[in-house]
Amino acid sequence: MELLWELQKIDLDLKNIEEERDRYPKEMNKLSEKQSLEKERIHKEREKLESLEKDRRQKEKNLVTEQDKIKRSEGRMSEVKTNKEYQALLSEIETFKQAVSRVEEEILLVMDEIDELKKDLSKREKEIVITVEKFETEKKKIEEKMAQDDVVWEEKLARKEILSKQVESKLFKLYNMLKEKRQGIGMVSVRNETCQGCFVNVPPQMFIEVQKNKSLIRCPNCNRILYWDGNGEKK
């Protein structure tokens, strides 16, 4: 019974490692996906920033053009002969001045947008450095755990080989059959007169027998082989 109990514990450990081997690569993929999404976002923001800067430079050129127009018109002031011409020139200059102030406003707006984006971008860039660091640490941890799992796996498997031969073959077959049917658990402990596999009470007389760990006793409800492992404490 003790040997079979040890075997059951090993089988659970092996199952646990199997689940970890399945889960770890998925966890890593998730982390790396999150990281590339964030990098993509930063890339897009940088592109937007570039296009805003381009826009700003274009507007500044426009501003210079409009200012030149004003200067040229003002230069023509001395050549004006009639009042009508003078009025026309004044109104032309006024139009150019309006254009200048419009372009100036536009430039201010673009500059505001650029400032906002730069702030956001520098925050994101700081964050991504931390995210990448975290990812590398996590990745290392997972890789170490997987390597450790491999070692434990080999050890447990070797011990399982030995136990499989030592346990009475009829009992071993029964155990394997139950394990197959009952989510990897063929043998369970009993605590407080309750089967720890299905959590149904076992009859008091049976409980007394189980505590001896001498004979094959199975749970009347889930059929698993019962084992006395102390009441959660060491025997």
* Binding positions for Zn ion, rule: CB under 5 A: 195, 197-198, 219, 221-222
Which residue, 92, 127, 111, is CA-closest to 53?
A: 111
Residue (62 or 196) nearer to Zn ion, CB: 196
Q: Transcribe 215-227 into DSSP letters.
A: S--B-TTT-PEEE
Residue (131 or 223) nearer to Zn ion, CB: 223
Residue (93 or 217) nearer to Zn ion, CB: 217
Helix (H) or strand (E) holding 191: strand 187-191
Q: Residues with Cβ < 8 Å from 235, sequence gap 6 or more? A: 229
Distance of closest approach, residue 176 Cβ to Zn ion, in angstroms = 18
Distance of closest approach, residue 223 Cβ to Zn ion, in angstroms = 7
| SS3 category, 195 | strand
Distance of closest approach, residue 1 Cβ to Zn ion, in angstroms = 16
Residue (127 or 193) nearer to Zn ion, CB: 193
Residue (96 or 227) nearer to Zn ion, CB: 227
Surface-to-core class of residue 133, CB atoms within 10 Å of its CB (0-12 exposed, 13-18 middle, 19+ buried): exposed
Residue (186 or 197) nearer to Zn ion, CB: 197
Could you give the CA distance from residue 117 to residue 126 in angstroms, rounded to a whole number? Answer: 14
Could you give the CA distance from residue 194 to residue 205 in angstroms, rounded to a whole number? Answer: 13
Distance of closest approach, residue 210 Cβ to Zn ion, in angstroms = 11
Distance of closest approach, residue 190 Cβ to Zn ion, in angstroms = 9
Distance of closest approach, residue 218 Cβ to Zn ion, in angstroms = 8
Q: Transcribe 22-49 into DSSP letters.
A: HHHHHHHHHHHHHHHHHHHHHHHHHHHH
Residue (117 or 198) nearer to Zn ion, CB: 198
Which residue, 49, 52, 38, is CA-closest to 124?
A: 38
In this structure, the dihedral spanned by the alpha carbons of residues 145, 148, 152 and 153, taken in order and rounded to 10 degrees, is: 70
Distance of closest approach, residue 224 Cβ to Zn ion, in angstroms = 5
Residue type, 156: K
